[in-house]
Structure 1
Amino acid sequence: MTNQIEKQDLHSLPYSVYSADWLRQAEAQAAQDTGLSLFTLMQRAAAAAFRAARQKFPHATHWVVLCGHGNNGGDGYEVARLAKNAGLNVTLLAVSGSKMLPAEAEQARKGWLNAGGQVGDISADWPHDADLLIDALLGTGLTSAPREPLAQLIKAINQQHAPVVSLDIPSGLAAETGTTAGEAVHAALTVTFIALKPGLLTGQARDYVGELQHSALGLESWLGGHRPLLQRLDTRRLAEWLKPRRPCSHKGEHGHLLLIGGDSGFAGAIRMAAEAALRTGAGMVRVLTHKQHIAPLLTARPELMVQALTDASLSEGLEWASTVVIGPGLGQNDWGKSAFKRASESEKPALWDADALNMLAKNPQKRQNRVLTPHPGEAARLLGCTVKEIESDRLLSLQRLTERYGGVVVLKGAGTLIGSEDGQVAIADVGNAGMASGGMGDILSGVIGALLAQKLSFYDAACAGTVVHGAAADIIAQRQGTRGMLATDLLTWITPLVNPDLEK
C-alpha cells in the first residue's frame, strides 16, 4: 500500500467533493474501517505533501515549517522530519498552546525531536535564507477569523518572498465555504488530503489556494462508499454530455432557439448571445431586438434570423421556438418589461439572464423548465439580501435560489456553482480572471440556451455550458494571458469544445 500511495498522481484531482465538516467527523471511522491508525494517515499525508513540495520547488534547500497546535501542526512535524531526513535545512517554529497536543500530533512532534530536530517559538526571528515555507497552522476546522498571535503570523507569512505550501488548506480559509473572516495564507501550492472540500474551489479560494493537489491517502475505496456533497466539473466530462451527431441529422433536429433582448444601445449583448448559440450548434437561431439593430446584426452574422421585437413577432417567435433565452441587453424600460411579461407566460424551456432576472426579483415565480444564470449581485436581488451574504456561503445561496425559484440555477463567479431543486450540485473547475469583463454572461447564456435547444436536460445543459464557457477562456488565457480578454474571443474556441469527439 505504501508504494501505491507514493505513486499516486497528485496532479489528478477527483470529481467528488465532500463536506469538510463531515470529513472531520468521519476520519476516525475511515481509519477504523480500513484498519489504519490515525497516525498512519498523518504520516501518509505528510509524505504526500513532502513529495509535492519537492516536485514543485526542487531547488528549495532551507524550509521553515510553521506548526499550529492541532493535527494540522502534526502534519507539519512529520513533513519537517521527512525534509530533515532528506538532507534539507529545516527550521521548525511552533505555536504554543495551553492544552496538550492531540495524541497523533504529539507523536509526530516526538518523532521530529527524536530525529534531532528542534522546536523554536513562533515569535523567533525567521531565517533570512529560507526559500520555502510550510503552512501547518490551521486545518479545516476553522469557523472564525484567526486569533492572535496567528493573525499576525499569517500576515507575516504573506509578507515573505519565499513561496508557501499549505497542508490540507491555506490557514485562514474556511474549508466549507471558501470565505475568509480575517487573515489567510496566500499559498503557491496546497496539498489537500482524503477528499476535496468545497472551500478549495469556490468563494475566495482562488485567491489563496494556488496550485491544488490531492492525495486520498489510500482511502479511495472507503470514500467511494459515501455520497459526495457535490461534483467537480472540467473538460474531461464534456464527452459524456456532447455525443457525436447522427450523420443524417438536419438543422430542425438541433433546435429552434429564440433570443429576446437588445434594447436601444445594447445590441452587443444580444449579438454575443446569439452568435455563441450558433457556435454551440443550435440548429436555427432567431433574434427579436430593437429595430435599429437589425442591419448591424445581420451584417455581422448573416446566419442569424433577426426581426424587430413587436407583439406580432414575439407571438410568432414564441410559437416557433423550442427554447427561449431572454435577458441579454433587455433593459428595464417599458419595451423590455412588455417582452418579459409575454415571454414569462410561455411554457417553452427557457434561460433567463440579466434584466430578466432583475424583473423576476420584483415578481418572483417558481417553475421547473428554466435555467437562471445570476451573478452575485443578481442573486442578492433575487433573494432580497446583500452580495456579502451571497458570497459568505455560496452553496447555501444556491440552495436558497433553487428552493425559491425552482429549475436549475447557475451561480456565477470564481468557482461557478450549478444546482437543481432536486439536489444535484456541481462546481465548474474552469475559468480565470480574464473573464472579469463585459459580455461574458451573454456568451454563457447563448451557450447554455443552444444546448437546451439540442435537447440536453436543464441540469446537463447548465453544467456542460458552464464548462465550455470557462474552458474557452482558459485556452485564451494560456495563449495570451488574462488581461485584455474579450467576451467575443471565446467564440473561436466554443466550437472545438462542443465537439469533444474530435481527435486532439
Structure 2
Amino acid sequence: MTNQREKRNEASLPHSVFSADWLRKAERQAAQETGISLFTLMQRAAKAAFLLAQSEFPHTRHWLILCGHGNNGGDGFEVARLAKSAGIRVTLLAVKGCKPLPEEAETARQGWLKSGGVINFADSAWPQDVDLIIDGLLGTGLSSAPRAPYDGLIDAINSASLPVISLDIPSGLDAQTGQTAGKAVHATHTVSFIALKPGLLTGQARDYTGKLHCDALGLQSWLGGHLATLQRLDATQLSTWLPPRRPCSHKGEHGRLLVVGGDTGFAGAIRMASEAALRTGAGLVRVLTHKEHSGPLLTARPELMVQELTAESLDEGLKWADVLVIGPGLGQREWGKKAVERAAEWDKPALWDADALNLLAINPRKRQNRVLTPHPGEAARLLGCSVKEIESDRLLSAQKITARYGGVVVLKGAGTLIASEHGEMAVADVGNAGMASGGMGDVLSGIIGGLLAQKLNSYDAACAGSVVHGAAADEIAHRQGTRGMLATDLLAVIAPLVNPDLKK
C-alpha cells in the first residue's frame, strides 16, 4: 500500500527552500553570474518537465499543453517543441495577453512555430483523444485569483479526468503561502524549477501539487552560496539530532520530565502525551493530573509516576523536573488556570499546548524558554485574529507568534512550520491526512517534551519532534491507510524513529 506522502519522499527533494519573491529576482542574477542565459534555463526547465512526462506517462501519445502569457507559458512552448520532435502529437492552447510576451517566452514561441507547431486560441475546443495535460498557464508571480480565461481553463483541466503535470507550480496556487485566492489546478505531478518554494510545502499545497519534484537547472552550486528562507525537514535528517546513546548512560542523563494536565474527563490527553515522552526516550516522566485519573494511568502505563495535581505537588514537581509539558487536557477551570500561572514563572525548558495556549492568549507573556504548539485555531487566539488570517500566510503567522511570545512555535497543519524568535524557520515535510483525528497534538507534545528532556535545544527538539510525529503517521499510513488512524497507533512506531542508527 502506498500513500501520497510516500510518493512525495521518493522525489529526493532538496532540503533548502527559498522565497518565491527572491527566486523571481534571483533567476536573472543567477544567469548573469553563471553565464547561463535565461533562455537556456527555460530550455532546461522544459527538458526536465518533458523527461518527467516521458518517465511517468510513457504510453501517452497526445499531449494538451496550455500556455499562459508569461515565462511559464514559455516553458510550455519549449515542452511542446520537444514533444513534437519526439513524435508525440501536441495540441497547444495559448492565452493571448495585452502586452508582448517576455523575451525568452517569445523566443520559445517562435521556436515552436518554426518546428511546424500550431497555436490554438485558449477558447478552442479540446481534442477528445488527449491523454496528458501540461499546465503552463500561471507561474509563481500570481498575486490574485485567476481571471478569465484562466479560471475557465483551470476548471476544464480539473474536470478532464486526465493526468496533469504542472510547470513550476500548479496554476492558481500561491508560491509563497500555499493558498488559493480562487481556482487552482489539481496536478498529478508538479516539477519546481531552480528551487522549492514555501507554497509547495504548506498551506493548501498538498491538495494541489500531487507528487512533487524539483530540478535546479544546473544552478545547485550557485544556490549553495545563498541563505535559504527555510529548511525542509524529513526523516532522513533524524540522525543529525539523535545520535546513538552512550553505552553506559543511565536514566538520569535522559531527563526528568513533568507533564501537567488531564482535568476531569480528559485522562486520554495526558496519557498520550506522557507515554509519547517515554517512547521518545525521556528518562523519567512524572504526571500531575486529576486524582480520578491516577489509577487508570498507572494501570495502563506503570512506567509513569502519577500524582494528583495540587499547588504543593506542582511546586515539588517543578523543583524536581528538568522540563515541563503543560496543557494536554488541562481545561480552563480554576484548577488549570492556577497551574498555568505557576508554570509561567518557571525558567527551564517548557512546552505549552492546548488550553495552556488558550490561557496564555488571555494573559500574554513573552518568554524565551517555551515551545508553543498551536493548531490554527489556537494560533488565531494567540494573535487575536481569525483562523482565515492565520492560514492566509502561515509563515508570517508563525513569525508573528514568536515575535509576540518568544521562544519557538510549532504551527501545526499540513506542512507544519517551526519558527524561532531568532529567525530560524523550517517546514516538516512529513505526515498525512490520517492525522486529522483527536489526540495527535497530545502525542506531538509528548514527543517534543521527551526530546527536550534529552537536552536538545528548543528549536532542534521542535524540528526533530515534528518529523518523528509525522513520520510515525506515515509509517502507520503505509501499513493500513489514512482513514481510521488513531493517535495511539503512533506510539508503537516512535521508538524506531528516535533510534535512526538502527540497521533496517
**CA apart distance, 1:345:** 1.8
3-state DSSP class of the match of 1:277? helix
CA–CA separation in structure 2 for the residues paired with 1:242 and 1:225 = 28
Q: Which has the higher contact order (CA 8 A, sep 6+)?
A: 2
Q: Give the 5 Å matches for 1:475-494.
A: 475-494=475-494
Task: Give the corresponding residue for 1:101.
Answer: 101
Partner Cα distance (2:385, 2:119) in 1: 48
- 1:350-388 per-residue CA deviation (whole Å, 9 max, x = no partner) reads 000000000000000001111000000000000000000
What amino acid is the match of 2:334? D
SS in 1 for 2:190: strand
Which residue is equivalent to 1:441?
Answer: 441
**Aligned AA (1:18):** F
Give aligned-pair identity as a percent: 75
Q: Deviations over 1:196-226 (max 9, x none)?
A: 0000001110000110000000001111111
Q: 2:54, 2:293 → 1: CA distance?
A: 58
Question: Secondary structure, in 3 states, of the residue corresponding to 2:413?
Answer: coil
The secondary structure found in structure 2 opposite 1:501 is coil
Question: Aligned partners of 2:15 and 2:63: how far apart in 1?
Answer: 32
What's 2:170 paired with? Answer: 170
Aligned pairs for 1:41-60 (under 5 A) are 41-60=41-60
Aligned equivalent of 2:402: 402
Per the alignment, residue 6 of structure 2 pairs with none
Question: Equivalent residue of 1:90, what SS?
Answer: strand
Aligned to 2:315: 315
Alignment-derived partner of residue 113 in structure 1: 113
The alignment of Structure 1 onto Structure 2 pairs a total of residues equal to: 496
Q: Map 1:40-439; keep pairs closer than 5 Å.
A: 40-439=40-439
1:220–1:27 Cα change, 3 Å:
same
CA distance in 2, matches of 1:77, 1:320: 67
Give the partner amino acid of 1:496: P
Q: Is the 8 A contact 1:10 1:214 kept in 2?
A: no
Which piece of structure 1 moves more, 438-447 or 109-118?
109-118
* Secondary structure of the structure 2 residue equivalent to 1:169: coil
Contact 1:242 1:500 in 2 (8 A): yes
Point out the more displaced range, 453-462 or 50-59.
Answer: 50-59
Instruction: Kindly provide the CA deviation profile for residues 300-349 of structure 1, in whole angstroms up to 9, marking residues without a partner as x.
Output: 10110011111221111111100000000000011111111122222221
**Helix, strand or coil at the partner of 1:461:** helix
Determine the C-alpha separation between the residues in 1 that align with 2:397 and 2:294.
Answer: 39
Whole-angstrom CA distance in 2 between matches of 1:11 and 1:303: 41
CA distance in 2 between counterparts of 1:11 and 1:362 reads 44
The superposition leaves residues 453-504 of structure 1 with CA deviations (integer Å, 9 ceiling, x where unpaired) of: 0000000000000000000001111111100000000011100000001112
| Per-residue deviation, 1:54 | 1.3
Structure 2 CA distance, aligned partners of 1:491 and 1:437?
A: 15
> What secondary structure is seen at the aligned counterpart in 2 of 1:503?
coil
User: Are the aligned partners of 1:289 and 1:309 in contact in 2 as well (CA < 8 Å)?
Assistant: yes
Q: What amino acid does structure 1 have at the position aligned with 2:92?
A: L
SS at match of 1:93: strand
Q: Which residue of 2 aligns with 1:452?
A: 452
Q: Any stretches of 5+ residues in structure 1 without a counterpart?
A: 1-8
Is the contact between residue 69 and residue 137 of structure 1 (CA under 8 Å) also seen in structure 2?
yes
**What is the letter of the counterpart of residue 437 of structure 1?**
S
Q: Is the 8 A contact 1:10 1:215 kept in 2?
A: no
Amino acid at match of 1:403: A
TM-score for the superposition, normalised by structure 1: 0.97
**Counterpart amino acid of 2:116?**
G
**Gap change, CA 1:46 and 1:143, over 3 Å in 2:** same
Provide Cα deviations, 1:62-83, integer angstroms capped at 9, x if missing partner: 1100000100000000001111
**Partner Cα separation in structure 1 for residue 28 and residue 449 of structure 2:** 46
Instruction: Find the counterpart in structure 2 of residue 470 from structure 1.
Output: 470
How many angstroms apart in 2 are the aligned matches of 1:346 and 1:20?
40
Q: Alpha-carbon deviations, 1:3-53, whole Å to 9, x = none?
A: xxxxxx992211110011011111111011111111100000000011111
SS where residue 249 of structure 1 aligns?
coil
TM-superposition CA deviations, 1:180-211 (whole Å, max 9, x none): 00000000000010010000001110000110
Equivalent residue, structure 1, for 2:3: none
Q: Which runs of 4+ in 1 moved over 6 A?
A: none
- Which moves more between the two structures, 240-249 or 92-101? 92-101
| Cα distance between partner residues in 2 of 1:171 and 1:383 | 31
Question: Do the aligned residues in 2 keep the contact of 1:10 with 1:52 (CA within 8 Å)?
Answer: no
Give the distance between the partners of 1:223 and 1:314, measured in 2 at CA.
50
Aligned partner letter, 2:222: W
Cα distance in 2 between the residues matched to 1:152 and 1:92 = 16
Distance 2:100 2:368 in 1: 54
Distance in 2, matches of 1:409 and 1:354, equals 13
SS class of match (1:112): helix
Unaligned runs of 5+ in 2: 1-8
> 1:418 is matched by which residue type in structure 2?
I
Structure 1 letter corresponding to 2:144 = S
- Give the Cα–Cα distance (whole angstroms) in 2 for the partners of residues 48 and 411 of structure 1: 34
Q: TM-score, normalising length from structure 2? A: 0.97
**What CA distance in whole angstroms lies between the structure 1 residues aligned with 2:186 and 2:469?**
27
Give me the CA root mean square deviation: 1.0
Give me the whole-angstrom Cα distance separating, in 1, the residues matched to 2:36 and 2:397: 38
**Paired residue secondary structure (2:92):** strand
Q: Secondary structure of the equivalent of 2:186?
A: coil
Distance in 1 of aligned mates of 2:343 and 2:54? 58
Distance 2:471 2:278 in 1: 18
What residue is the counterpart of 1:4 in the other structure? none
* Code of the aligned partner of 2:136: A
Tell me if structure 2 keeps the 8 A contact 1:10–1:213: no
Amino acid in structure 1 at the alignment position of 2:365: Q
1: CA distance, partners of 2:308 / 2:394: 39
**How far off its partner does 1:112 sit?**
1.0
Amino acid at match of 2:193: F
Secondary structure of 2:14's partner?
A: coil
